[in-house]
Structure 1
Amino acid sequence: MSNQSPLPPCLVRLLAGLVFSISSLAASAPASADAPLAAGDLAPASGLSVAGSVAHSAYAAPAKPRAQPRGAPAGGQGALFRVTRDGQMAYLFGTIHVGASSFYPLAPQVSRALADSSQLVLELDTRASDDFDQAVRKHASYPAGDHIRNHVSPDTLRRLVTALHAAGIPLSGVGHLKPWLLANMLIGIELERSGFKRAHGNESFLLDAVQPRGAKLAELESADYQLSLFDTLGDASAEAYLREALDDLSSGMSMKKARAIIDAWTSGDAAALDALIPDTIGDGTVTSDFTRRTLLDRRNPEMAQRIAHIMKDGTVSFVGVGLLHLLGANGLPQLLSQRGYQVERIY
């Protein structure tokens, strides 16, 4: 019989695998570090698009209805592109995966593009969790009887226990999870506590906006694929990834990185957005190298190919992807332009 604690439902809903969001949980776990983590001990929460400790929390509790403030911020949030070729058309919008109610409604240009589209395309359907549950068990959990203490140094384990304790989470409840998932989870908790919630992420808003009129939904990837990318990290790299996250948490750098992306997205300032890529992948860490090689350079061409395939059916699609996928020489606008599409930046 397995000695692992059952995977809490909220952990099942958090995805650590993509874009640059930080998987997150709001923790209300038992105060005792020895107490087992029961299914209801963690409340579902969220994640965000931030560079550094990269991961993509694609799953969270469905967003609750929220009152919308009057008037969108001046200018546009993120970046919005129109892609056309031979009568085909799609919009590309750079999202962040957590947010605040003050982010909405989105800019008028985004609202018009949504109204013009009959299909919403996201990296994943954030309302579904069964596939992610299976992916977590397959890629982010150790086999029955194994434990993270067998895969990291005593010093890393000590630091992890300290961070988990500060978040109110006992190691006994999450010790069967791999270091990269725990790293993303801890930074996600920090984001949640700072007021950036998954329920206010762009994906939830976009789904709420198109659902009443019956727009189709398509996905660019799968939960299994996204988590399999993180599972390519061997023990040494996964431990380094965790230690870098713990360093960022203790120094306050995790929130500094997150706020830089949130501020750039909120302003829609092109210069600030362009600076995100070198800031994200330029520090020579395991995390930044993994972000560049795997989460950007590998996934962006695959996403571009998938978008091109989706556009062939003649349906006008609104494609919402993590903001960093749209930036730089290997961003989706550049890759689609190289494929012969006309790419126009709306803002």
Structure 2
Amino acid sequence: MPSPAAYVKRLARAYCLGLVCCAGLTHAAPPATCPPTAQMPSQEQMMAGLRDTQDRGVLWRIAKDGRNSYLYGTLHVGRQDWIYPGPALQRALQQTAVLALELDVTDPAVQAVMTEPTPAAQLPVIGPALQRRLDGQAALACLPPGALASMHPVLQVMTYALLAGRWDGLDPSYGQEFVLAGYAKAGQRPLISLETAEGQRDALIPKTPAEALEATEQALELLEGQRVRPQLKRLAEAWARGDLAELAAYEDWCDCIKNEADRRAMRRLNDERNPAMAERIAALHAQGEPLLAAVGALHMTGPQALPRLLAERGFTVERVEPHK
């Protein structure tokens, strides 16, 4: 472990590098009408954060062929004091040489794929009324009109849902993926994507324009009904305390699963992506370098949970309890 001063310098560099993906999302506006935006911590705040850091999220040690790697469940939003790795995660970083994320969120090529225009034939018809509702969410997020227009409507509302958390101090810029990606880049550590940007985009976007339209309207109803922020806050609190049972019960309390179509969408977003990620993690581990694989925490739950799939592939999987 580097000295505290050296670690602060690395963390500062990591945070700057990790934030590159969110550059341009904030929009200058009167503080009274806009949610707080992510801020670079001062050196004093970093020293205090490192001194007081604690374990958050869910972490497993996965072992096979005499080597240990780690599997970490992340959250796509966070608070400023969550950017400091807890003792258990610090040890996992020290004992591994490679970082594997769902996607390298700092890669411009990945960002380009996720924001590239969708062919018109695959887009739902967005009439004037629905466009006004999307524009209303942009205004609430303090984004200029059309800031996300190049994105598929489903990806737009997903982004607005994450940005809504800023009113409660939960900002995508503080998400674990950005911090870990920046840490890897600051330490010149290999950073590998477990999925392709195209594959993840296709999983996030419904297959037909009709399904995409329905998903967009449902997400807007949740946003307009002020139901997204309580869900996101509950999810974040469960993640922060490492409450795997609460995370596993997400579909029971999220108010987002109303019918079989919703269940199919959830399986597409979560369960159906897990086997390929498990295979990729197993293949990377087999190459000999110990790795830390960091994937959204909900991928650690359900019948296709990543810890279960890795155990089926011959790994010894052991939950790492938070440091006391």
TM over 0.5: yes
TM-aligned CA deviation for residue 299 of structure 1: 0.3
Instruction: Tell me if 1:26 matches 2:26.
Output: yes
In the alignment, is the contact (CA less than 8 A) between 1:119 and 1:315 conserved in 2? yes
**1:1-80 paired onto structure 2 within 5 Å:** 13=21, 25-28=25-28, 67-68=45-46, 69=49, 70-73=51-54, 76-80=55-59
Partner residue in 1 for 2:214 = 240
Matched, 1:260 2:239: no
For the 8 Å contact 1:147–1:175, the answer to whether it is kept is: no
The corresponding residue for 2:293 is: 319
Q: How many residues align?
A: 290
| Structure 1 position 187, deviation (Å) | 1.7
Q: Distance in 2 between matches of 1:326 and 1:214?
A: 28
TM-score where L is the length of structure 2: 0.77
- The 8 Å contact of residues 78 and 266 in structure 1, kept in 2 or not, is answered as yes
Partner AA of 2:53 in structure 1: A
Equivalent position to 1:116, from 85, 95, 114? 95
Q: Give the secondary structure class of the aligned counterpart of 1:298.
A: helix
Paired residue for 1:195?
169
Matches within 5 A, 1:130-279: 130-137=109-116, 140-143=117-120, 151-153=125-127, 155-169=129-143, 174-175=148-149, 177-279=151-253
Contact 1:142-1:178 at 8 Å conserved across structures: no
Q: Distance in 2 between matches of 1:28 and 1:196?
A: 19
More helix by share: 2
Residues 36-92 of structure 1, C-alpha deviations (whole Å, 9 max, x = no match): xxxxxxxxx89xxxxxxxxxxxxxxxx88864212223xx31111011122132100
* TM-score with structure 1 setting the length: 0.73
Task: State the shift of 1:213 in Å.
Answer: 3.9
Per-residue CA shift, 1:116-159, capped at 9, x if unaligned?
A: 0011111111211233314432xx5344xx997x7035543443
Query: Using the alignment, how far apart are the partners of 1:133 and 1:122 within structure 2?
Result: 17
Superposition RMSD in Å: 3.2
Is the CA contact 1:136–1:227 (under 8 Å) kept in the aligned structure 2?
A: no
Indicate the larger mover: 278-287 or 106-115: 278-287
- Deviation string 1:256-300 (CA, Å, 9 cap, x unpaired) is 111111101111123323322544597235884354221112100
Conservation of the 8 A alpha-carbon contact between 2:163 and 2:171:
no
Tell me which amino acid in the other structure corresponds to 2:213.
E
1:336 aligns with 2:317: no
Verify the 8 A CA contact 1:142 1:176 in the aligned structure 2.
no
